[in-house]
Structure 1
Amino acid sequence: MRQLQQACLWETLTPHEAWSGPLEGEVQADVCIIGAGITGLSAALHLLEQGQTVCVLDAHDVGHGGSGRNVGLVNAGTWIKPDDVEATLGRRHGSRLNTLLGQAPAEVFAQIRRYGIGCQARNDGTLHMAHNAAGLADLRDREAQWRRRGAAVELLTGAACAEYCGTDRITGALLDRRAGTLDPMAYTRGLARAATGLGARIHPHSPVQALARAGHGWQVHSGQGAVSAQKVIIATGAYTEGEWTQLQRHYFRGYYLQVASVPLQGAAADAVLRHGQGSWDTRKVLSSIRRDAEGRLLLGSMGRADNKPDWFIRGWADRIQQHYFPALGKVEWHLHWTGCIDFTPDHLMRLFEPAPGLVAVTGYNGRGNTTGTLVGKALAQFLLSGDSQALPIPLSAMQAVRGAGLRSSLYETGFSLYHAGQCLRVIL
């Protein structure tokens, strides 16, 4: 049996590139971006195209955080239903956010084409799979809400559902033709490559230690260097580190584990998601399912794998695989990894402007590929124009999430117990 390794599949598939190295000395820029993920790099590209000078800092490497470690779904909309978005934000702002995030997959795929990014991109849609009658009712409601807004969604049942999903354990699946899949690390590093081609300075392994006003601009200090900039974007999400910002108080951290098999071949493997969609089910503690370009089966769920033994991870992955795809037989699991998600209580993001020329975002709630691409562009436009209408939602007051640490701990405990029940075949 192959050893189960703790490593992110997407990082192993994406060639490492040498950027500018850690920040040293004094650097001048129009805009300093903290966080070399999808949001920060999308913002960088749009600023550079408008003639701005940009310096990007990251405590680790390009794509190290959620941008490079996620499932790779290019989702339309938010985690919650569009009617709920409008109920929370109000009709005007909620409708605008639904429209913009409904169009966000098209923006991602346009960026990929524009900059020639090789990242296994497929605009073939996604499948939200009903695991029981309640899940099917939920999907019917989602279909009706999106169709009222003109979205290209379709609820598959019967033979069509079985053909698309590759399993008879699903009662229905909502096919969202706007969406798709990609290799998130390759997408993120492709954005970085495009940004450096336009003149951006990208400094990995440069954790920010201080952020302070300097005249009409800002000084961003990191190790042996500092960036003087007129404006700053904080785009670190769930991977925000250090005492220089209070941003960590405005979300609670969750975790997401993934397991990847060796490449699978044969008729049984070809039947799994045969039309190329990525998917996830309607369980409270969901399972995500997709395949990559080389035929690997990728399973994911809420919770951590990096603090659990190999037998637990294999047991969970075997349980999900054998339930949905028993025809595959015994699958050989190769890699596992864990990423972080910045959650908010209402599952909607927050945009902040703590001071003039300083903007920040949190709360993607696990939808960073599309949301980050959209928000990065919007933050760039806002800094250039000063017009808040460029933003997808209004700016929020800085209000901390109560009991963020406790929420995170309780969620993780619940997820671990649920997965233990799956391993023991008590629940599924």
Structure 2
Amino acid sequence: MADLPENTPVWDDHDWAHLPALDGDVSADVCVVGLGGSGLTAVGELLRRGASVVGIDAGHVASGAAGRNGGFLLAGTYDFYHDAVRRHGHERARRIYALTIDEMRRITAETPEAVRQTGSLRVADSPEELEDCRLQYDALRADGFPVEWYEGPEGHGLLMPTDCAFNPLLRCRILARREVEAGARLYEHAPALEVRPGEVRTPSGTVRCGKVIVAVDGRLERLFPELEGRVRTARLQMLATAPTDEVRVPRPVYARWGYEYWQQLPDGRVALGGFRDLGGEGEWTHEAVPGDAIQARLDRFLRERIGVRAPVTHRWAASVGYTQTGLPLLDEVRPGVWAAGGYSGTGNVIGALCGRAAAERALTGASALGDAFGPAGGSA
């Protein structure tokens, strides 16, 4: 790995004019901590509602999981739909699934240059999983959601026609540029050292504000120790290859109960992630750098399962928050301080929903959108 770009996602083309660092004290109606997909969506919603906004990020825009994921836009929650119905109740599961389909349409309309309307595949790696696909198919069809049975070169399973592929880093950069033009004051390399009601302290300045929204996924429990036990950070790892015509993968694929996932980019590169569950306790870590054991598994899967021999050009990792329920954490964790995170690997779509809901709750104290995931003050 020494000759490869060090922990750089395939999405990063290095074409980004960085935002300034915070230097001194500033004031706003709302401070948003975290400039990933959920945080930038919150900024946009706050601006739309007439609030003044300061946004900060410890790194650069989408330097966390928002710009380092597999580039899937998927309907639903962490659980497959039939499992979500059993776990969360029929009405809640159906409402969340419908909301995520609508949100994908919104994301596509908002940043069409970053999204490809491809659909996605779930392919089974065992007879047991194939039977589970049939249960998922039946549950989706019963509630009128689009799904098709699939048999093809990737395997047997389900085609989800409403899902999409996208460039997550490009989307966030587009949103950030637009929001700066609309009046948001956004700062990079401004880590939040302390978050308390009315104030966010960074190494080189303080944001004084009426409300705070902390929209980070991984490491949320580090910033808020009171969330220990409600959210836990894991490391997700990926790699990508040079452009290749060895295979043609027209839509994102996820296999083995969703633990492995890959897609082929428009230029022919293959991006692959997975095997978190086989890393043991070592993958429950705040360390967001690739590890040799998981990367070796990804190498074998790339060569033996997908059939790609093209050289690997990128290896990277990201920190992602998981909750015990599989539903996101969206709560007022301190007076006037709202936290959104713990997306359990579904942050591209559910994170955007939670960003808008957090903005609504911060400004009004209520959000019908957020109530789909749990009432204000509830547990994740």
TM-score under structure 1 length normalisation: 0.79
Give the whole-Å Cα distance in 1 for the aligned partners of 2:39 and 2:24: 22
- Please, which of 169, 172, 175 is the counterpart of residue 191 of structure 1? 175
Tell me the residue number matched to 2:31: 32
State the aligned residue count: 369
TM-score under structure 2 length normalisation: 0.89
Tell me the residue number matched to 1:46: 45
Tell me the residue number matched to 1:130: 124
Tell me the residue number matched to 2:301: 320
Does residue 1:340 correspond to 2:311, yes or no?
no
Percent of aligned positions with the same letter in both sequences? 27
Report how far residue 86 of structure 1 moved. Answer: 3.7
* CA gap 1:259/1:293 in 2 versus in 1, 3 angstroms: same
Q: Deviations over 1:260-308 (max 9, x none)?
A: 111113xx33xx31xx211110257x22121112111111113369453
- Residues 363-372 or 316-325, more deviating: 316-325
Tell me the residue number matched to 2:279: none
Tell me the residue number matched to 2:137: 143
Tell me the residue number matched to 1:367: 346
CA contact (8 A) 1:258 1:300 kept: yes
Report how far residue 148 of structure 1 moved. Answer: 1.7
Tell me the residue number matched to 2:291: 308
Tell me the residue number matched to 2:194: 210
CA contact (8 A) 2:275 2:298 kept: no
Q: Deviations over 1:208-251 (max 9, x none)?
A: 122233xxxx1111122111111111111114375565345521
Give the whole-Å Cα distance in 1 for the aligned partners of 2:303 and 2:162: 30
Does residue 1:387 correspond to 2:366, yes or no?
yes
- Equivalent AA in structure 2 for residue 93 of structure 1: R
* CA gap 1:308/1:232 in 2 versus in 1, 3 angstroms: closer
Give the whole-Å Cα distance in 1 for the aligned partners of 2:165 and 2:98: 20
More helix by share: 1
Tell me the residue number matched to 2:62: 63
Tell me the residue number matched to 1:289: 262
* CA gap 1:225/1:102 in 2 versus in 1, 3 angstroms: same
Report how far residue 91 of structure 1 moved. Answer: 4.0
- Equivalent AA in structure 1 for residue 331 of structure 2: F
- Please, which of 298, 306, 324 is the counterpart of residue 271 of structure 2? 298
- Equivalent AA in structure 2 for residue 301 of structure 1: G
Give the match's secondary structure for 1:368: coil
Once superposed, what is the RMSD of the aligned Cα atoms?
Answer: 2.5
Give the whole-Å Cα distance in 2 for the aligned partners of 1:382 and 1:3: 47
* CA gap 1:222/1:4 in 2 versus in 1, 3 angstroms: closer
- Equivalent AA in structure 1 for residue 364 of structure 2: S
Report how far residue 179 of structure 1 moved. Answer: 0.7
* CA gap 1:32/1:333 in 2 versus in 1, 3 angstroms: same
Q: Deviations over 1:289-341 (max 9, x none)?
A: 211121111111133694534xx566433421333243x4x331111001112
- Equivalent AA in structure 1 for residue 126 of structure 2: N
Give the match's secondary structure for 2:55: strand
Does residue 1:153 correspond to 2:173, yes or no?
no
Report how far residue 7 of structure 1 moved. Answer: 2.9
Give the match's secondary structure for 2:159: strand
CA contact (8 A) 2:262 2:273 kept: yes
Does residue 1:277 correspond to 2:251, yes or no?
yes
Report how far residue 71 of structure 1 moved. Answer: 0.3
CA contact (8 A) 1:79 1:367 kept: yes
- Residues 33-42 or 380-389, more deviating: 380-389
Give the whole-Å Cα distance in 2 for the aligned partners of 1:387 and 1:67: 26
| 1:37-116 superposed matches below 5 A | 37-113=36-112
Q: Deviations over 1:99-153 (max 9, x none)?
A: 212322212212214xxxx33x201111111122112111111111112222111
Give the match's secondary structure for 2:12: helix
Structure 1's unaligned 5+ residue stretches are 401-428
